[in-house]
Amino acid sequence: MEKFDVIVIGAGVVGAMIARTLSRYELNVAVIEKESDVCMGTTAANTAIIHAGYDPLPGTLKAELNVRGNKLWDQLAFELGIPFKRTGDYVVAIDSNEFNKLEELYNRGKLNGVIGLEILGRDEVLSRLPYINKDVGGAMFASTGGIIDPFQAALAPMENAVVNGVKLFLETSFEDFIFDGKRIVGIKTNKGDFLCSWVINAAGLYADTVMHKANLHPEFKITPRKGEYYIFDRNEFAISEVLFPVPTEISKGIMVTTTVHGNTIIGPNSHEVPDKEDTSNTVEGLDEVFKGASKLVPQIANSMKHVIAIFAGLRATGNARTPNPNIDYHHDFLIEVNKDIGLVNVAGIESPGLASSPAIAERVIELLKDSGLKLKEKKDFNPIRSPRPRFKDMSNEERAKLVSKNPSYGRIICRCEYVTEGEILDEIHAPVPARTYDAIKRRTWLGTGRCQGAFDTPRVVEILSKELGISPLEVTKKGDDSYFLLRKTKEV
């Protein structure tokens, strides 16, 4: 049985960043992920913001790693071909009471080491943001804030890690640890046992379950906090800025923002839910999002006819207080090493986890090094992941040249987003292959336009069936039993 130096549990953005960083070294590394694709948990459904770092409390890991992570994204986006824009962001105070809180955020940001902060008066805000609520009292602008494609932020480092030797095991669920005395020597999964010297727990919403299997932190609990969203047709309603309300103690508030693909998105609200798989939308929740966003941008009230999709995501919120009065996790990231048993826990990674993820990976490597793991850099490590052709973004001359080399790029499968057959084939045969409809959707943006897949779905099912060598009846939307087709028509 193959033995790994390190096994990473979880293939969200944190697990992917850790895997990519480990792939720089002469190590045998595996990543296990319970879903059919990478980035199907918290990373897949969020606001896609690279936070500047003014919101976390000074002195916390959230503050330190947010600011450090923010600085790392420019180089990462360049190396890995990740869509990323430093748009800056605004924290908008609607009245004088909220305006007084901006100074607190400004000072907090300065203590955290955030650069590019400025407080704007009412007239300046109205000049920059003519669509904003006319009762606005002012705003704080953070020039280092940005937006990113959150799926590519996880897929790209994972692909780069695989190219550099990391082994990825999908649909592989952690069940328990294998111990030799007090030391972890492997893990049990639904696909069999894996032997290893170290385990990194980056299991997102289930990170508490994993650490409890090692008899660590029984008082630590992750409670899912649901956030709901609307997405608008970018051709009908578009806000090009990133707008936050003044934050509360539990949330950064209901935003109005843009995506790297040009769609306006509003949300999220924030409510605890008991079920770690509950990504359903609710009438009450969506109404709350609508009202909150309309408070910032009143014209949203007349633009709901341009909504093309709704969705919800879950944040992995760790607890603060515990039954033990001497233990308080302060809702901070929990990142620690237990050298004796060979486990690194990376837990409670809620917002600003996406922004912080590159710095979290750095911190994990430091912990492993300090614990005695030998880290010898590879001479042949390749940090570059070249982006694949995107027909929609090409000039007509570039398109003609591409089609002349490969006619499959001339066959449009998704008319709304101009996704071609060639692009779909690229993703099916990529280092981390797309094997479901949603996997292709996340990679190419297929099916995200006004028709929401009504035109492309049958064609994608046909392509997946052919390329994977399976029956169309076996093609799924997102793995497991999410089949599109029940039986052949003539069998009815």
Q: pTM for the full model?
A: 0.96
Per-residue pLDDT at 29: 99
Residue 248 has a pLDDT of 78
Whole-number pLDDT of residue 97: 83
- Portions of the chain given CATH number 1.10.10.1100: 391-491
Nearest to 84 by CA among 392, 431, 432, 355: 355
Which has the closest alpha carbon to 457: 437, 428, 485? Answer: 437
pLDDT value, residue 410: 97
Task: Give the pLDDT means over successive 10-residue stretches in the chain (492 positions).
Answer: 96 99 99 98 93 96 98 98 98 90 97 98 97 97 98 98 99 98 98 99 98 96 96 93 89 93 96 96 98 97 95 93 72 95 98 98 99 98 94 96 97 95 98 98 93 91 98 96 88 60
| pLDDT for 326 | 67
Peptide bond into 352 cis (omega under 30): yes
Q: How many helices (H) and strands (E) does the chain have?
A: 12, 22
- Residue range(s) in the chain whose domain bears CATH number 3.50.50.60: 3-43+151-221+320-370
Residue entry with tokens 């076996």: 474
CATH of 391-491, one of 3.40.50.620, 3.40.1800.10, 1.10.3720.10, 1.10.10.1100: 1.10.10.1100
Q: Which CATH superfamily is domain 3-43+151-221+320-370 in?
A: FAD/NAD(P)-binding domain (3.50.50.60)
Confirm or reject CATH 3.30.9.10 for domain 85-146+224-318, answering yes or no. Answer: yes
Long-range contacts of 327-332 (CB under 8 A, 24+ apart): 327/219, 329/220, 330/57, 330/60, 332/60, 332/61, 332/62
The answer to whether 9 and 176 are in contact (CB under 8 A) is: no
Question: Closest Cα partner for 69 from 163, 126, 153, 167?
Answer: 153
Query: Residue 170: which of 32, 312, 319 has the closest Cα?
Result: 32
With a CB cutoff of 8 Å and minimum separation 6, the contacts of 401 are none
Integer angstrom CA distances of residue 298 from 33, 133, 242, 465: 42, 6, 16, 46
SS3 339: coil
487's tokens: 């039986």
Within the chain, all domains assigned CATH 3.30.9.10 are found at: 85-146+224-318
CB 356 within 8 A of CB 69: yes
User: What CA–CA distance (Å, rounded) separates 361 from 19?
Assistant: 8
The residue behind tokens 């007239």 is: 123
- Positions annotated as catalytic residues are 51
pLDDT of residue 156: 98
* 346 closest CA partner among 11, 54, 68: 11
